[in-house]
Amino acid sequence: MEKLLEMAKKVCDKAEVYSIGYTHNSVSFKNAKLHGIESKIQSGASLRIIKDNKLGFAYTRNLANRQELLQNAIDSLEGEVEANYDFPLTEKLPRIDTFDPSLENVLSTQMVEESARVCDLLKSKTDAEISVSSTTYTETIRVMNSCGTDISGESTFYVMYGSLVFPGSASGIWRAFLSKDFRQMPENILNEMVKLYTSSSKIVEPKGGKMKIMFMPNSMIALKWRISSGTSSKSVYEKVSPIANKVGEKIFDERITIHDDPLNDKHPGARAFDDEGVACKPLTIIENGVLKSFYYDLDYASKLKAKPTGHGHRTTAWGGDPISIKPVPALTHMIMEPGKKSFSDLVKSIDRGIILEGALGAHSGNIPNGDFSIGVSPGLYVENGEIVGRVKDAMVAGNIYEMLKQVVDIGDTLYPSWGTAWLPPILCDNVSVATKN
């Protein structure tokens, strides 16, 4: 990497080298039987150069031919992509606990045994189609640039998913468990899955209309995408965010507070720096319903004459290979402050409504504007404070900037939600639902 950076500095104004290496081991069970074991080791590097305020980019899985990589980056300058920013000089970073060396020694046989244990427990209590997967992931990231930055970080992840699919359907109840080390999936998570599954085995066909909807963390991706989009500096710059001029104004219910906290190492995936080498720090996006700030990478901070907030990440809405992706503004460590109501208390407060466990089509609609229209997959129907069955063939629609002003209450438990976000259940009123009836 050092040699590549020196070569790049001789032919351009600014340069950055990003490298990542990871080891990925996974075990999967389908229908409660071992389905597959996979191991992958991969590494690579990407080069960003800036010359005459134009951006060049190239990447490789093999650094053997540095000159070819550099030439590819130079050739890409013909794309005339503007880059009116400097790479940062980052030297001092906070110490965070992101790496547990014991995870590197976990064997596939241990993962198989734990997955089989979970399958057996779920099989003994339900008639569901059971799927379980577990993954160990070790990652090393390094960022160097022509301004003198040379920083690196290591992380370990252990992730386990369990799902109970209703017979004859493609929907079910699933939960994720995340840790920095290998450990058993907690009993309370498994018991919650079983209880929700058994209480919603009956299919019901309620009338549509306005009703209460409880967004569970697995369906919160529909809200997370729209909150992330509306508060992104990219959306502000492109003039597609409806809240671009509302900093300091109340946009949600006062019980909603949302932070992005990459330094929170209680959970796996904490980061001391982003993929551009900018130091990370906690950022409050929404406080007591009031819009406090947007988040920026280097590019959009420059375009909007703001300071970068350490949110330049090599990702897309669907993840992707970080080596091949240029950084964009991304809210990767979202945390919504929990409320004080237990899940059972939230259910008891529903006179008529749906617990939305999963959402189909969360990516569709006008995301920057906050609009959504999602399929219920599955939805647990509640009447008079009790789950009476599950709903099929139903749609939930609305706009987050209207709906999140009508919050009934927020749950007291944080769940992992689609990556490194941690979100509680949130119960909203007067949400439009369309059903067969």
Give the pLDDT score at 1: 86
* Residue 53 and residue 81 in contact, taking contact as beta carbons nearer than 8 Å: no
Distances (CA, A) of 208 to 76, 211, 351: 53, 8, 14
Which two tokens mark 79?
């794309």
Tens digit of each residue's pLDDT (9 = 90 or more) over 45-71: 999 999 999 999 999 998 889 999 999
Cβ neighbors of 395 (< 8 A, separation 6 or more) are 373, 374, 375, 376, 433, 434
- pTM metric for this prediction: 0.94
Query: Could you tell me how far CA 271 lies from the centroid of its own chain?
Result: 14
Give the pLDDT score at 405: 98
* Residue 416 and residue 397 in contact, taking contact as beta carbons nearer than 8 Å: no
CATH superfamily of 2-195: PmbA/TldD superfamily (3.30.2290.10)
Conformational region of residue 259, where left means phi above 0, alpha means psi within -120 to 50, and beta covers everything else? beta
Residue appearing with tokens 């208390």:
345
DSSP letter for each residue of 179-211: ESS--PPPHHHHHHHHHHHHHT-SEE----EEE
Strand segments (E) across 102-165: 129-145, 150-165
Residues of the chain with pLDDT under 70: none
- What is the domain partition of the chain in residue ranges? 2-195, 200-437
* 3-state DSSP assignment of residue 26: strand
CA angle 197, 423, 338 (to 5 degrees): 105
Beta bridge partners of 428: 213, 407
